[in-house]
Structure 1
Amino acid sequence: MKNTEQFIGKKVLVVGLAKSGVAAAGLLHRLGAEVLVNDSKSLEGNEEAIELQTQGIEVIGGGHPSDLLERNFDFIVKNPGIPYSNSLIASAVERKIPIWTEVELAGILSEAPIIAITGSNGKTTTTTLLYHMLNMAKKNPLIAGNIGTVACTVAEKAQANEVIVLEASSFQLAGTESFTPRIAIFTNLYEAHLDYHGSMQEYLDAKLQVARNQTSEEYLIFNADQRLIKEAIESFKSEKIPFSVLGKAREGISADGEWIYWQGEPFIEIKHIKLPGRHNLENILSATAAAILSGCEKTAIENVLSSFTGVRHRMQFVREANSRTIYNDSKATNTLATKSALSSFKMPIVLIAGGLDRGHSFEELRPHMKNVRAVVTIGETAERFAEFAKSCGVTEATLASTMHEAVEKAYACSCEDDVILLSPSCASWDQYESFENRGDQFVEAVMKL
């Protein structure tokens, strides 16, 4: 670790006892800071709180005492999920106490360079692709953030000859001040999390923290097909690497129907890529650009692209069954994600969709339902989605009460060369504890076909 001396004797409040809070509190304590942890939940039977207390860290639970900030903390590390509207955090903002997330600690302490990936969609796929490319090229990657170990925990142990591949959400990035990755990736921007950020501009500002502090010696890989991103980063100092799926471009990385181009020159043929969909092509371009900038050989990149079939529950290839190709896209909890999934295939689709009913419209999917042969619907929105499908001209729409029944019905109404696709367009909590659990049940049912 580097820059450790700056934390000696600092008074730090860690808000939130989730895994990032526990990791940050323990790390700061080991670095010589005076740490207090506060959580809204009762500490009774809380193993995390007990663990911290055995280390000599003070923990206060059951709410946020009004006089807590009178202790004159030097800075606060908050759990990313705690909104700035929280009474304690809002009061700290008024007092101008610096409020970080543990990602800021990772950036300060890491000996290893960091590649940070953010965006509304595609973060996990891009992060995973890049990790595999770096690993194939023997660049000693470490994965951190939303799909890996807490970033500051990875940074504590990382060596200079390694590289941290960090998936960073807007919640995490909003709590950074000096965070400066060697390579930043901004995949795309769509309206999301406005209940947390308050406005689209604040959401964008949080995402821009991934590159705002970069120097001219660092790189920003960004979606050149989105004008909002292009305009927002114009004044940034980093070397900008645009990516585009709209055809061959002279700068950065781009793609048409046949090739991926690097700086305008053919690099990899599209036909060698396993992962389907235009949205995944965006992920592929940004990951490939980062791999090239990290010194990965072309063969390592090609080997990954020719074998990678997707992250679990995100357009994950499951199997072929009697000439039907089956994909698990359980992570598609909104219409935007399902729209991307539907547009990924040219062959007929049997779609399994439905879930928690939040009252949202499915109209955004209408132009993309032309290729859907049949639908099998589940969950609270089963009847509503079936009616929507029929209004789109889908003649076969049936309801299922369980995932196993849905898979059996989907297979029964499919034909050779069809795609059977789970892409629910709804959250999972009406029937399942998580989209992962929903996807696992889908995979289990598919393997029993």
Structure 2
Amino acid sequence: MKDLPQLHQKKVLVLGLAKSGFTAARLLHKLGAFVTVNDSKPFEENPEAQELLNLGVTVICGRHPEDLLDEGFELVIKNPGIPYRNLLIQKALEKNIPVWTEIELAYRISEAPFIGITGSNGKTTTTTLLFHMLNQDGKSPLIAGNIGTVASGVAEKATADHVIVTELSSFQLKGTESFRPHISIITNLYEAHLDYHGSLEDYIGAKKKITENQTAEDYFIYNADQQMLVDHAKTVKAQGIPFTLKGRTEESISADSEFIYWQGEPLIERKRIMLAGEHNLENILSATAAMLLSGGTKETIIRVLTSFTGVKHRSQFVGEWQGRRFYNDSKATNELATKSALEAFSDNIILLAGGLERQHSLEELRPYMNRVKVLVTFGETADRFAEFAESCDVPTVIKAGLMDDAVEKAVSQSSPEDTILLSPACASWDQYESFEVRGDAFIEAARKYTEANE
């Protein structure tokens, strides 16, 4: 870990705890800063604050005093989820006090280079896939960021022999200043998080910060099928590495219906790749390009692509039984996510869908419902899903209770070559405490069948 002399005996405010705030506060204290933590959770219910107080950190809990910034702070590190309209953040900016997220702190202390991955969709899959590739190739990767591991905690332990593969949200990137990944990836950009950013321009601007400090020694991997990113690449100093799904090209990485190509040469047949779906092909191309730029071997890439079954609960291949393939896409808590899942499979889908009633329209799914031969529906939206499926002429519609019942009914209606897909298009809270618990219930029910093949 690099020392930061500029923080010695400097007053730093950490706004918001959770994992990232706690890790940053502990690290800043270790670096010799005078740290104050401010968190909304009451002290008696806040074990992180209690631990920091025992270390000698000043802790203010249960409220956000409006005069807090009168204490002479020289830096604010905020939890990524706190919006910039927060009064304390606004006051800090008015006073020209730098406001970072802990990603900036991670970069400044790290001895290891970063690979930064962002985009509206596909960040987690790309990050996980690339990590597996690098790990299988002996490149000593560490994984961090929005994927669930606090980047500054990872950077504290990293050495120059490591590489930190980092998933980055717009919330995290907006609070960066000097962050410079050696390889940056933007998988795609769509309208998102406008409630936080206030405008599409602010959201896209935050995403583009991933390339802001890159130089000609660095690489920028981007989606050449989006004109916005093609235009952005022209303004970036890093070497541009475009990827496209629209057919074979001689430059960089590309794909057609048969192969993935690197610099125009076939790399792997698409039918050998375990990770299904056109949306995942963007993730595969960007991860593969980053792997090759990192010195990874084609043999390792092929080995991983023919075995990697996806991130848990995101179009995750669970197993096979008598020609039926089970996929867990419990993370699909809205119709757009389920639309992407249905796009990944051509036909013979037995779809398990339903959950918390939020009165969302289901019309985005209509063009893809002709791929569904059976709908098994459950939860608060069961009746509405059944009516919708019947209006789409889905041949068989069945209502179920909990997941074990849904899987049993799905299997009873299935034939060899069918895809049994959990992609609910709804949140889980009517029946399960989280989409993870719902997905685990699906996996457990499916394994009653798939374990017979093991």
TMscore range, shorter length: over 0.9
SS class of match (1:188): coil
Aligned to 1:377: 377
Partner of 2:303: 303
Distance in 2, matches of 1:60 and 1:166, equals 31
- Name 1:138's counterpart in structure 2: 138
Answer with 281-290 or 350-359: which moved more: 350-359
Asked if 1:408 is matched to 2:384, the reply is no
Give per-residue Cα distances to partners, 1:109-141, cap 9 Å, x unaligned: 111110011111111111111011101111000
CA deviation string 1:376-411 (max 9, x = no partner): 112222221221111111132222221111111111
Per the normalisation by structure 2, the TM-score is: 0.96
Return the letter of the residue paired with 1:376. V
Residue number in structure 1 paired with 2:49:
49
Q: Which is worse superposed, 93-102 or 50-59?
A: 93-102
Question: Which of 427-436 and 322-331 deviates more?
Answer: 427-436
Answer yes or no: is the 8 Å Cα contact 1:142–1:163 preserved in 2.
yes
| Distance of 2:382 and 2:143 partners within structure 1 | 38
2:249 aligns with 249
Native 8 Å contact 2:354 2:424 kept in 1 = yes
Q: Which runs of 5+ in 2 are unaligned?
A: 450-454
The equivalences for 1:29-428 within 5 A come to: 29-428=29-428
Q: Which amino acid aligns with 2:298?
A: K
Query: What is the aligned partner in structure 1 of residue 452 from structure 2?
Result: none
The structural deviation recorded for 1:434 is: 1.4
Q: Render the CA deviation track for 1:257-315: whole Å, top value 9, x for unaligned.
A: 12211122222222321111111111110000000000001111111111111111011
Is the deviation greater in 281-290 or in 375-384? 375-384
- Note the alpha carbon deviations across 1:320-360, whole angstroms, 9 max, x for none: 12221110001111222211111111240010111222222
Percent identity between matched residues is 63
Deviation by residue 1:144-199 (Cα, 9 ceiling, x = unmatched): 11224210011111110110011111111111111110001111112221111112
Q: RMSD in angstroms over aligned alpha carbons?
A: 1.3
Rounded Cα–Cα distance in structure 2 between residues aligned with 1:132 and 1:41: 37
3-state SS of 2:228 partner: helix
For 1:164 and 1:271, the matched residues in 2 are separated by: 31
What is the distance in 1 between the residues matched to 2:441 and 2:21? Answer: 32
Change (3 A) 1:154 1:77: same
Counterpart amino acid of residue 322 in structure 1: Q
Asked if structure 2 preserves the Cα contact closer than 8 Å seen for 1:347 and 1:417, the reply is no
Could you say what secondary structure the match of 1:210 adopts? helix
With 57-66 and 340-349 compared, the bigger mean Cα shift is at 340-349
Instruction: Output the amino acid matched with 2:23.
Output: A
Distance 1:381 1:91 in 2: 45
Q: Distance in 2 between matches of 1:351 and 1:41?
A: 41
CA distance in structure 2 between the partners assigned to 1:448 and 1:267 by the alignment:
36
2: CA distance between counterparts of 1:302 and 1:232? 31
CA distance in 2, matches of 1:227, 1:27: 41
Q: Which amino acid aligns with 1:153?
A: G
Task: Return the alpha-carbon distance in structure 1 between the equivalents of residues 206 and 427 of structure 2.
Answer: 25
Q: Output the CA distance in 2 between the equivalents of 1:206 and 1:233.
A: 15
Tell me the CA shift for residue 63 of structure 1: 1.0
Aligned length: 449
CA distance in 2, matches of 1:54, 1:61: 15
Residue by residue over 1:227-270, the C-alpha shift from the partner in whole angstroms, topping out at 9 and shown as x without a partner, is: 22222332111111011111112222100112211122222222
Bigger mean CA offset, 165-174 vs 385-394: 385-394
2-side partners of 1:352 and 1:106: how far apart?
A: 41
Whole-angstrom distance in 2 between the partners of 1:430 and 1:73? 45
Q: Could you tell me how far apart the structure 1 residues matched to 2:231 and 2:385 are? A: 38
Give per-residue Cα distances to partners, 1:75-104, cap 9 Å, x unaligned: 111111111122222222332321111001
Any runs of at least 4 consecutive aligned residues in structure 1 with deviations exceeding 3 A, and if so which? none
Q: Which blocks of at least 5 consecutive residues in structure 1 are unaligned?
A: none
Decide whether the 8 Å contact of 2:314 with 2:331 is kept in 1.
yes
Secondary structure in 1 matching 2:320: strand
Residues in 2 aligned to 1:167 and 1:197: alpha-carbon distance in whole angstroms: 19
AA matched with 1:445: A
Corresponding residue SS for 1:448:
helix
| 2:431 corresponding residue in structure 1 | 431
1:421 aligned counterpart, secondary structure:
strand
- Give 1:215's aligned amino acid: T
Matched residue of 1:352: which SS? strand
Query: In 1, distance between residues paired with 2:196 and 2:356?
Result: 21
